[in-house]
A and B are shown apart, each in its own frame.
Chain A
């Protein structure tokens, strides 16, 4: 699935140059569940963004199914994000003015799915995460756990091959955290997704077959792959 070779990423923050990734190399197989741990500012999110085509590395290559995301143009990256990769964010990142169902539908807009199909598939996705009855609710009317379920439904409604989750349980209590991890684990098994999950939580990381750690931009394998 992913073959990452010597990836480095630097960016400027004010007058300071930040080395987010330093010569990172990594292979992720199809259908693998991988957790990324590390301190804040260590480079976890930068790696995830590079894997999802949200950002290009300063150097190195990120091959996804044989295509190098590092050299792909904007339109190509947009297409990859629309068709291949699903994202789940720590803050859910739902559109506050749209209902749960409409939020899920936003992921199908760039794929040119018809309105009726969008509505049907969005409702099915919400039912698959146990929120079919809350389809007409606005995000503000849902709990944190429910909002994250909507975000997961949005990430999965387009049937991606990769799911990238950036601290998906970071804003949730322990009970809800376990529910969300159960859900993600179940979907991973059911759909054969490649799931990369950034987390601070060791309990969450402990449930993944493979764990890596990134600190000061350098990657360290915690378990064998």
Chain B
């Protein structure tokens, strides 16, 4: 009788059933879309973070450089002597110089920190890297010997931009090029955690334990293609020739660059940069996500000068449209869901109570027939829950379609995270260069050293990744959505049932008299 009565009531009160179910369905669909998109954005953030920090990294440890410290804020100065390079017949000198130093904004710290962190409870893996930036200057400059012999004044200001510059003084033309590449020294024997864990070999091979101390390099596949470098070629870093043994590509997306242009065995990188016994980043893996905060605190206590970042901290550092989407989902989406959900619950309660009021005689009759109170209340609650269930199923279908539409629309989010890399300001080679050359000319007369000022300061332009938003629909979202709708029905049923429970059969008939 319960199911027969329930079925008939829902069928015969189609309008009420439809309104309540649609209200709940819209709310549930919205909750589902927000949850799925939120999960999608989280996954996208994780992809962006993994492309920089690798898979399985729970904590990173770095040490920020202070202005004026060894860590870079810009590529620093290139110092030239008047006799540097080779003189050419057209009154210029061909000059090339390379600087290898820690990446701008970071500074190196003692490698013993690796053992300190490895010794902490709940730490299951630690890998150290030495992240460097190689900046090279190459080009032609006026030959100051020839200038002084001719008694001409210094060169006119040069004009330059975007790292390339050209200046033409009266003593001869100048043109130069500034290249920059990011270099990461890693431990060839440690492959469980670190930046290479989100890469796959594109060509050749990656590091093996036996590569420790060897003059070998692995290149980012995108960088290798741009620079037309193949496996087996030789590249020069810090004045040392290194054999390219392989290229690696990011696993987070096609055409996405990995964390660095060049990877070297960490001991080789340290030797080339004259930074033996130093590292710039520790990648830490913790046994359980619940222990991340505790380990983070312990590292902070052991290494007071270090910057300790958990995945959550790092996620906050993700910028770009991905960050905007995350913010939108977590604020507007969440509140909108709550408001619509409350409205749907309110609607369900209103209709249920109104239904009970309309059915006063019917419910009073059932009580007069000897239906126990719990049976009458159960009937009302059952109808309400069934409406919620219908709304939940419709909401899951509606939400599923909406999520499908989101996924099919191929929304691409762009995010950048992590590494600070230096950038040359557009004016880097301009007036400064001209002034530098003037200085150089003046110094040349006295035989002293000449120098170039650096370009613009370092910028937070880390690895940029484009991630296509994929909003996953997990089983728990479906269960939670239906559960929410049923809860809405149950709340409405309880309120309506209480109204029905208060109904005394005689009063029901009297009120209708």
A55: Cβ under 8 A from any B Cβ: yes
Residue among B9, B12, B373, B505 facing the most chain A CB atoms (10 A cut-off): B505
Separation in Å of the A99 CB from the closest CB of chain B? 9
Interchain CA distance A91-B365 in the complex, whole Å: 11
The answer to whether residues A110 and B370 also contact, given A95-B365, A97-B12, A105-B1 and a CB cut-off of 8 A, is: yes
The reply to whether B4 and A98 form a contact with Cβ atoms under 8 Å apart is yes
A-B contact pairs, 26 of them (CB 8 A): A11-B510, A45-B509, A46-B506, A49-B506, A54-B504, A78-B367, A78-B370, A78-B371, A78-B372, A81-B367, A81-B370, A83-B370, A87-B368, A87-B369, A89-B365, A89-B509, A93-B368, A95-B5, A95-B362, A96-B12, A97-B11, A102-B5, A106-B366, A106-B369, A110-B370, A118-B1
Chain B, residue nearest A109 (CB): B1
The answer to whether residues A97 and B8 also contact, given A54-B505, A89-B365, A102-B1 and a CB cut-off of 8 A, is: yes
Number of interface residues of B (CB under 8 A): 27
Interchain CA distance A83-B371 in the complex, whole Å: 11
Interchain CA distance A190-B124 in the complex, whole Å: 89
B99: Cβ under 8 A from any A Cβ: no
The reply to whether A93 and B365 form a contact with Cβ atoms under 8 Å apart is yes
A52: Cβ under 8 A from any B Cβ: yes
Binding site for B on A (CB under 8 A): 11, 45-46, 49, 52, 54-55, 74-75, 78-83, 87, 89, 91, 93, 95-98, 102, 105-107, 109-111, 115, 118, 154
| Complex interface: chain A residues within 8 A of B375 (CB) | 109-110
Separation in Å of the A40 CB from the closest CB of chain B? 9
Separation in Å of the A113 CB from the closest CB of chain B? 10
Contact with A along B349-390 (1 / 0, CB 8 A): 000000000000110111111111101000000000000000
Additional A-B contacts beyond A95-B5, A95-B366, A110-B369 (15; CB < 8 A): A45-B509, A46-B506, A49-B505, A49-B506, A54-B367, A78-B367, A78-B370, A81-B370, A87-B368, A95-B365, A98-B4, A106-B1, A107-B369, A109-B1, A109-B375
Q: Which of B1-39 contact A (CB under 8 A)?
A: 1, 4-5, 8-9, 11-12
Separation in Å of the B251 CB from the closest CB of chain A? 60
| Complex interface: chain B residues within 8 A of A82 (CB) | 369-371
Interface residue SS majority, chain B: helix
Interchain CA distance A160-B506 in the complex, whole Å: 20
| Complex interface: chain B residues within 8 A of A97 (CB) | 5, 8-9, 11-12
Contact with A along B57-82 (1 / 0, CB 8 A): 00000000000000000000000000
Separation in Å of the A211 CB from the closest CB of chain B? 23
The answer to whether residues A91 and B361 also contact, given A96-B12, A110-B375 and a CB cut-off of 8 A, is: yes
| Complex interface: chain B residues within 8 A of A154 (CB) | 369
Separation in Å of the B227 CB from the closest CB of chain A? 79
Interchain CA distance A87-B361 in the complex, whole Å: 14
Separation in Å of the B7 CB from the closest CB of chain A? 9
Separation in Å of the B260 CB from the closest CB of chain A? 72
| Complex interface: chain B residues within 8 A of A95 (CB) | 5, 362, 365-366
| Complex interface: chain A residues within 8 A of B509 (CB) | 45, 49, 54, 89
Interchain CA distance A75-B8 in the complex, whole Å: 28
| Complex interface: chain A residues within 8 A of B12 (CB) | 96-97
Residue among A46, A54, A81, A98 facing the most chain B CB atoms (10 A cut-off): A54
| Complex interface: chain B residues within 8 A of A91 (CB) | 361
Shortest 8 CB-CB distances between A and B: which pairs?
A82-B370, A55-B506, A97-B8, A81-B370, A110-B370, A93-B365, A54-B506, A97-B12
Chain B, residue nearest A50 (CB): B506
Chain A, residue nearest B6 (CB): A97
Interchain CA distance A71-B465 in the complex, whole Å: 79
Interchain CA distance A105-B4 in the complex, whole Å: 11
Interchain CA distance A80-B367 in the complex, whole Å: 11
Interchain CA distance A154-B368 in the complex, whole Å: 12
Separation in Å of the A119 CB from the closest CB of chain B? 10
Chain B, residue nearest A94 (CB): B365
| Complex interface: chain B residues within 8 A of A89 (CB) | 365, 509
| Complex interface: chain A residues within 8 A of B373 (CB) | 74, 78
Separation in Å of the B367 CB from the closest CB of chain A? 8
Interchain CA distance A102-B373 in the complex, whole Å: 20
Interchain CA distance A75-B372 in the complex, whole Å: 8
Q: Which of B477-513 contact A (CB under 8 A)?
A: 504-507, 509-510, 513
Residue among B11, B367, B509 facing the most chain A CB atoms (10 A cut-off): B509
Separation in Å of the B503 CB from the closest CB of chain A? 12
Separation in Å of the B511 CB from the closest CB of chain A? 10
| Complex interface: chain A residues within 8 A of B9 (CB) | 97
Our pick among A11, A96, A102 for the contact of B4 (Cβ within 8 Å) is A102
Chain B, residue nearest A91 (CB): B361
Interchain CA distance A111-B369 in the complex, whole Å: 10
Chain A, residue nearest B513 (CB): A45
Interchain CA distance A107-B198 in the complex, whole Å: 71
Residue among B5, B364, B513 facing the most chain A CB atoms (10 A cut-off): B5
Chain B, residue nearest A84 (CB): B370
The reply to whether A109 and B368 form a contact with Cβ atoms under 8 Å apart is no
Separation in Å of the A61 CB from the closest CB of chain B? 18
| Complex interface: chain B residues within 8 A of A78 (CB) | 367, 370-373
| Complex interface: chain A residues within 8 A of B371 (CB) | 78, 82, 106, 109-110
